[in-house]
Chain A
Amino acid sequence: MLRTIKKFFDFCGDRERKQFFLSIFLSVFNAFFVAMRIPAIYVVLKAILEDSLSVNTAYTAVVIIIASIILQTLITMQISMLQTRAGYNTSSLKRMEIAEHLRYVPMGYFNSEGLGKVTSIATNTMESLSGMASRCVMMISKGMITTLVIVFSMFLFDPRIATVALITMVIYLIVTEFMIRMESADADRFTAAQDSMVARILEYVRGIAEIRNFNLFGKSITDVDDSIDSFARFSTGMETTYEIVMFFLNILNKIAGVVMTVMSITFYLNGSMGLVNSVMMIICSFMIFESLDQVGAFNGLTRAIENCVDKANEALSFPTMKIEGKEITPDNMTLVMKNVDFSYGEKKIINDISFEINEKTQTAFVGPSGGGKTTLTQLLARFWDVDKGSVSLGGTDVRDYSYDSLMKNFAFVFQNVYLFNDTIENNIRFGKPDASREEVVEAAKKACCHDFIMELPEGYDTVIGDGGASLSGGERQRISIARAIMKDAPIIILDEATANVDPENEEKLIEAVAALTREKTIIMIAHRLKTVRNADQILVIDKGQIAEQGTHEQLMQKEGIYKSFIAERSKAATWKIRKDPA
């Protein structure tokens, strides 16, 4: 428990940590203001027992209670403010830290799964951090400190009873700690049961079309019920353990209270304690452990706090690369890859590849999927850093450029088009933030977007995405090309994917690509026969190496991968679906 709390405070920013500490400090005072009803009772009791009850007694009691309400209000106002500030600012600062961190993570590192995870951390995890987690840490810290202070102040009244209280508190905390340990073993199995259920449910949901298509509902292969039932069993088991431990913890406190009560009476009867003190001790012994109960009640959530912190730290532990190089404007656009090795995890993807791409030439990467084509284009634009060898642009190693000044030279057409939830105009302008409306329209026209944009309800001001216009795959692709045209970078990296293109759009897409690539250095993962045929240099990539290299004519002379690739492509392009296939 203490470890979790320490972890949480280590995780917070300095200012927030101070605010949290101050709020805990004030909470302890507040506990005394809340307990001020006890002195008020004391005044009345004392007057009754000493037979000095008068209207003044009533006044005193009222003054004490009103003072208690006012002081409580004032101090809890401070506490609430401090905790709200510290809680929300912690998560807000962590969000910024994650966003900042992502700027330094190699671009190639991102895949949709990883991005989804980071998004969930930046949104959901941070939300629970600002609310649940920080509240929980506060309650636990406050409960422990308050009890501690109360117990020590009891020593002033009666050391014998205070000793009992102190021992109780120590046992309580030890049991609590033990319980967390015990639960965490349970919790691992619980988490495993949960993961397995979630995996099965996800599989069911993702495969629902197949389940129906092949009448698989209720068949064992798609049976989710078992995992749901076993998760329910684990949940009940966890809860039962928790209830049993809580039972003993509560009993411990209350029995200690009873022991303290009996002690107070004994001390009164044997004359070692006054009546008033004795009665007050009895009342106190009923309430002394209230704060401690909160520690027990909230410690069930410590795992959740740890979880939040761990997840956020995980997002911050993604590998980074140095992006602060010099502002360099290359003299020429010659790209050279020299003896490059690159591995992803354990797997070697690129194995000692060297080649050169001259300015304003067309280079086509061809080869089987998984051969390393995409990784090569990514290494050229420093989405990753190479393990060995070097990549240079205009004679300077790409690692010497500042990231932004390197990126100025590249434009990309990705297979997966990402458009922002913004107006079409702003999406296109993203390529050149200070572009005028006319320039945007100009680029859109070149990318064959203008006509369909004008048909949208608000033209260029139409918002794309949630609650906005939905565009077809081909349209999205062309907007991303307009964006790249806007950027007007000298080197274009292009994954020539034809999927998702509607027949009537195919021609326009080709036209848009032609507009983008005019007079540029073009590096492409090629699928079209024409583009391959016109390429100045073709690199056939297989198993992380250059298998063949040359122009179309040269490569067609050899009986190699390229020649069979071309044969397959021609066959595929003219394929017809027939009643009776040959």
Chain B
Amino acid sequence: MEDERSKTKEKTSAMNVYNKNSLRWLWSFTEGKRGIYLLSVILALLGVISMLLTYVCLASLIRELISGNREMAFYEVRGLQIGILWILRYAFHGFSTYTSHNATFGLIGSARKLLLKKLNSMPLGAVQSRSSGEYKNIICDRVDQIEPTLAHVTPEFTANIVGAIAMFIYMMSIDWRVGLWQLICIPAGFIAFAIMMASTPKYYPVTIEKTRALNAVAVEYIGGIEVIKAFGQSGTSYGKFVKAAKEGADCFIEWMRKENFWQNFGMACFPATMLGLLPSGVIYCLNGSMSFANLIVLIILSLGTVTPLVTVFAYTDDISKVGEIVSDIADIMDEKDLIRPDGIKNTPADHRIVLKDVHFTYKDKEVLHGINMEIEDGTVNALVGPSGSGKSTIARLIASLWDVDSGEIIIGGVNIKDMPLEEYNRHVAYVSQENYLFDQTVMDNIRMGRDGATDDEVIEAAKKCGCHDFIMTLENGYQTVCGGSGGHLSGGERQRISIARAMLKDAPIVILDEATSYTDPESEAVIQAALSRLTAGKTLIVIAHRLSTIADADKIFLINDGCIEAYGTQNELMTSSPLYKSMWESHITARKEEA
């Protein structure tokens, strides 16, 4: 990985493999709609052919005009033909585009649904390794970018290439020598583009790097504006920003300066078919091997090939970007699923939890090295340990946020991998600091805990969690819409609503993952009371930031460096574990300062 980053060459080759995978994904994804795309290509082709035929008609019209045909009726017919062909051309084109768009928008919709469904089957931990902003970017914005490729490029690129070739063959059949002569500029154009492309590996990475640097500086400047101003550094930081912004623009200008000549020379060369055609045609006419009429026809037909060629060039850029666009989507689709059966095999006999030799690797690093734990039904169990010790990882594995690499997690005699996720979720409630409230009424948000719960049951749960009073002071009481992320409710209020939701679910196993550290210290006591009610009589696994909170637990597991260092009650650990003792003493000193 590190080496890849340092060497651009290897990076681009790695990217190609990447793109190939994503193109394969795109290909398999279009299955079922390929017929429609074929139809769209055929329609586009008919459109291009109609267009080329207008040039054929035009050529014949001019030939007649020159050869002295003075019959107006003939020209009127030709004019009518040309008009009809143009209408056909745009009608075919329109239908082709409509067909491909209809299919593409459908596909984009299914891509979105697929991605969302995927998020529901991936390990939750893997889902959460990306931010919601990234998902929004991929599912909403990125996916839309498939549109030009599928809807425009597929039919038009194909049709125009085929059209240009057809026209070329037709011209060759009229006079193959002139047909070839008209291509005389193409090699020059290719050489120009090749030279231009040769400078790309030198300049392109610079622009990427400078743009990234600029974005990073912008993110820091804007994100850190509060700190910057508070420390009176706005002048210096602004200077940095200005420098980055300048460099971000200069690198593109510099690149353009370097390839400017070749790019524009190439662009001027490609359509210059007349350079070979006119003189060769004149010479052949002079030596009598070609008729004047044919020369005029060829000139006009040649004008007709320019448009398809220009269209093709306009789309090459889009094609080269597809791989990059799709790779983000393919990345998510390639994520491993949480493997769970569909049907219920065994139901847990009780709520005893056993971990057997559990190993778990996160981001290429093994973070749990063989964890064995036994948690008895209906007991209070605490996981403690230094930050980074793995205590949260254990809780999250039990909560099925991830799958273990090896070893087993068994609930009531059943391996959790043998339980459908839905069944599993009936047994376990996982409560963390993150409390998402949906953009629904308070009533509906709490009701999510149990489908079909009555209003009274919801209110009952709210009362138990100390929510009822503040809910009643809201504008519309229980019918108040929470708004994205909880709207105008305070952190503590949101937390209590989410506890009420868990309360309604009434799962026999409750996992509190740092649920006791508060964003809203003013409501700490109320939240604690709510948690007490939620956990009463349950099999409880708790990670708490204050050791005193869990001092009464039936079993405390001390996790250190991915292993269980010791376990037992508070008293047992105080004598058996020096690490626990020192943690406790440190905590108590802090508490004394406070008390």
Q: How far is the CB of B230 from chain A (nearest CB, A)?
A: 5
B537 and A197 within 8 A (CB): no
Q: How far is the CB of B390 from chain A (nearest CB, A)?
A: 13
Q: Taking each of B252, B274, B421, which has the highest tally of chain A beta carbons within 10 Å of its own beta carbon? A: B274
- Chain B residues whose C-beta falls within 8 Å of the C-beta of A37 in the assembled complex: 272, 274, 303
Q: How far is the CB of A286 from chain B (nearest CB, A)?
A: 6
- Chain B residues whose C-beta falls within 8 Å of the C-beta of A235 in the assembled complex: 101, 105, 108
Beyond known contacts A483-B231, A577-B549: 19 more, CB 8 A cutoff: A65-B275, A73-B264, A100-B238, A110-B226, A116-B133, A210-B438, A214-B425, A214-B449, A221-B438, A236-B102, A243-B97, A244-B94, A369-B522, A381-B230, A403-B229, A407-B231, A500-B517, A504-B583, A576-B550
- Chain A residues whose C-beta falls within 8 Å of the C-beta of B245 in the assembled complex: 92-93, 95-96, 99
Secondary structure call for the B interface? helix
Is residue B521 within 8 Å, beta carbon to beta carbon, of the partner chain? Answer: yes
Is residue B299 within 8 Å, beta carbon to beta carbon, of the partner chain? Answer: yes
Bound together, the chains give a CA A76 to CA B219 distance in angstroms of 36
A205 and B136 within 8 A (CB): yes
Bound together, the chains give a CA A487 to CA B229 distance in angstroms of 13
22 interchain pairs (CB within 8 A)? A53-B282, A57-B282, A65-B275, A69-B268, A73-B265, A88-B248, A103-B229, A122-B222, A203-B438, A206-B485, A236-B105, A265-B79, A286-B58, A369-B522, A369-B523, A404-B232, A408-B232, A411-B230, A506-B586, A507-B589, A510-B590, A577-B532
Bound together, the chains give a CA A290 to CA B177 distance in angstroms of 29
B594 and A199 within 8 A (CB): no
Contact of A221 among B263, B444, B550 (CB under 8 A): B444
Cross-chain pair count, CB within 8 angstroms:
446
Given A37-B274, A48-B296, A212-B425 in contact, is the A580-B109 Cβ separation under 8 Å?
Answer: no
* A-contact 0/1 string along B437-468, CB 8 Å cutoff: 01110001000110100000000000000000
Contact of A61 among B227, B279, B285 (CB under 8 A): B279
8 closest cross-chain pairs (CB), A and B: A88-B249, A58-B279, A254-B86, A581-B532, A92-B249, A61-B278, A58-B282, A76-B264
Is residue B211 within 8 Å, beta carbon to beta carbon, of the partner chain? Answer: yes
Tell me the chain B residues, 215-250 only, with Cβ under 8 Å from chain A: 215-216, 218-227, 229-236, 238, 241-242, 245-246, 248-250
- Chain B residues whose C-beta falls within 8 Å of the C-beta of A466 in the assembled complex: 216
Contact of A577 among B256, B517, B552 (CB under 8 A): B552
Q: How far is the CB of A316 from chain B (nearest CB, A)?
A: 14
A503 and B528 within 8 A (CB): no
Q: Which residue of B lies closest to A529 (CB)?
A: B594
A368 and B522 within 8 A (CB): yes
B274 and A40 within 8 A (CB): yes
Is residue B119 within 8 Å, beta carbon to beta carbon, of the partner chain? Answer: yes
Q: How many residues of B contact A (CB 8 A)?
A: 175
Tell me which of B27-35, B381-389, B403-411 binds A: B381-389
* B-contact 0/1 string along A458-479, CB 8 Å cutoff: 0000000010000010100000
Is residue B564 within 8 Å, beta carbon to beta carbon, of the partner chain? Answer: no
Q: Which residue of A lies closest to B79 (CB)?
A: A262
A430 and B231 within 8 A (CB): yes
Tell me the chain A residues, 410-445 only, with Cβ under 8 Å from chain B: 410-412, 414, 418, 420-421, 430-431, 433
A418 and B140 within 8 A (CB): no
Q: How far is the CB of B257 from chain A (nearest CB, A)?
A: 7
Bound together, the chains give a CA A247 to CA B93 distance in angstroms of 9
Tell me the chain B residues, 369-404 only, with Cβ under 8 Å from chain A: 378-380, 382, 384, 386-388
Q: Taking each of A208, A403, A411, which has the highest tally of chain B beta carbons within 10 Å of its own beta carbon? A: A208
Tell me the chain A residues, 104-137 only, with Cβ under 8 Å from chain B: 107, 110, 115-116, 118-119, 122-123, 127, 130
Is residue A145 within 8 Å, beta carbon to beta carbon, of the partner chain? Answer: no
Is residue A232 within 8 Å, beta carbon to beta carbon, of the partner chain? Answer: yes
Q: How far is the CB of B440 from chain A (nearest CB, A)?
A: 6
Bound together, the chains give a CA A580 to CA B388 distance in angstroms of 31
Q: How many residues of A contact B (CB 8 A)?
A: 161
- Chain B residues whose C-beta falls within 8 Å of the C-beta of A156 in the assembled complex: none
Q: How far is the CB of B78 from chain A (nearest CB, A)?
A: 9
A80 and B241 within 8 A (CB): no
Contact of B261 among A73, A412, A506 (CB under 8 A): A73
Bound together, the chains give a CA A255 to CA B281 distance in angstroms of 31
Given A216-B448, A228-B113 in contact, is the A510-B267 Cβ separation under 8 Å?
Answer: no
Contact of B421 among A212, A528, A569 (CB under 8 A): A212
Tell me which of B59-67, B197-205, B320-328, B344-352 binds A: B59-67
* B-contact 0/1 string along A195-221, CB 8 Å cutoff: 001110111111111111111110101
Tell me which of B11-19, B160-168, B538-546 binds A: B538-546
- Chain A residues whose C-beta falls within 8 Å of the C-beta of B586 in the assembled complex: 503-504, 506-507
Is residue A185 within 8 Å, beta carbon to beta carbon, of the partner chain? Answer: no
Is residue B563 within 8 Å, beta carbon to beta carbon, of the partner chain? Answer: no
- Chain A residues whose C-beta falls within 8 Å of the C-beta of B252 in the assembled complex: 84, 88, 130
Q: How far is the CB of B259 from chain A (nearest CB, A)?
A: 9
B386 and A575 within 8 A (CB): no
Q: Taking each of A202, A212, A420, which has the highest tally of chain B beta carbons within 10 Å of its own beta carbon? A: A212
Contact of B72 among A48, A130, A265 (CB under 8 A): A265
B79 and A225 within 8 A (CB): no
B548 and A576 within 8 A (CB): yes
A578 and B552 within 8 A (CB): yes
Tell me the chain B residues, 323-365 only, with Cβ under 8 Å from chain A: none
Is residue A44 within 8 Å, beta carbon to beta carbon, of the partner chain? Answer: yes
B542 and A472 within 8 A (CB): no
B222 and A118 within 8 A (CB): yes
Q: Which residue of A lies closest to B433 (CB)?
A: A499
Tell me the chain A residues, 342-382 only, with Cβ under 8 Å from chain B: 367-370, 381
Q: Which residue of B lies closest to A279 (CB)?
A: B62
- Chain A residues whose C-beta falls within 8 Å of the C-beta of B517 in the assembled complex: 498-501
Q: How far is the CB of A73 from chain B (nearest CB, A)?
A: 5
Is residue A246 within 8 Å, beta carbon to beta carbon, of the partner chain? Answer: yes
Tell me the chain A residues, 501-557 only, with Cβ under 8 Å from chain B: 501-507, 510, 527-530
- Chain B residues whose C-beta falls within 8 Å of the C-beta of A55 in the assembled complex: 282-283, 286
B256 and A80 within 8 A (CB): yes
B434 and A209 within 8 A (CB): yes
- Chain A residues whose C-beta falls within 8 Å of the C-beta of B436 in the assembled complex: 206-207, 209-210
Given A84-B256, A85-B253, A247-B91 in contact, is the A433-B523 Cβ separation under 8 Å?
Answer: no
Contact of A208 among B70, B124, B235, B551 (CB under 8 A): B124
- Chain B residues whose C-beta falls within 8 Å of the C-beta of A61 in the assembled complex: 274, 278-279, 282
Tell me the chain B residues, 553-595 only, with Cβ under 8 Å from chain A: 553-554, 583, 586-587, 589-591, 593-595
Given A40-B274, A506-B590 in contact, is the A222-B438 Cβ separation under 8 Å?
Answer: yes
Bound together, the chains give a CA A369 to CA B524 distance in angstroms of 11
A40 and B589 within 8 A (CB): no
Q: Which residue of B lies closest to A473 (CB)?
A: B387
Q: How far is the CB of A563 from chain B (nearest CB, A)?
A: 14
Is residue A310 within 8 Å, beta carbon to beta carbon, of the partner chain? Answer: no
A407 and B230 within 8 A (CB): yes
Is residue B518 within 8 Å, beta carbon to beta carbon, of the partner chain? Answer: yes
Bound together, the chains give a CA A348 to CA B589 distance in angstroms of 42
- Chain B residues whose C-beta falls within 8 Å of the C-beta of A115 in the assembled complex: 222-223, 225
A258 and B65 within 8 A (CB): no
Is residue B127 within 8 Å, beta carbon to beta carbon, of the partner chain? Answer: yes
- Chain A residues whose C-beta falls within 8 Å of the C-beta of B474 in the assembled complex: none
B135 and A577 within 8 A (CB): no
Tell me the chain A residues, 235-253 only, with Cβ under 8 Å from chain B: 235-236, 239-240, 243-244, 246-247, 250-251
A369 and B378 within 8 A (CB): no
Q: How far is the CB of A465 from chain B (nearest CB, A)?
A: 9
B75 and A581 within 8 A (CB): no
Is residue B187 within 8 Å, beta carbon to beta carbon, of the partner chain? Answer: no
Is residue A269 within 8 Å, beta carbon to beta carbon, of the partner chain? Answer: yes
Q: How far is the CB of A350 from chain B (nearest CB, A)?
A: 18
Is residue B430 within 8 Å, beta carbon to beta carbon, of the partner chain? Answer: yes
Q: Which residue of B lies closest to A104 (CB)?
A: B234
- Chain B residues whose C-beta falls within 8 Å of the C-beta of A224 in the assembled complex: 112-113, 116
Is residue B176 within 8 Å, beta carbon to beta carbon, of the partner chain? Answer: no
Q: Which residue of B lies closest to A480 (CB)?
A: B227
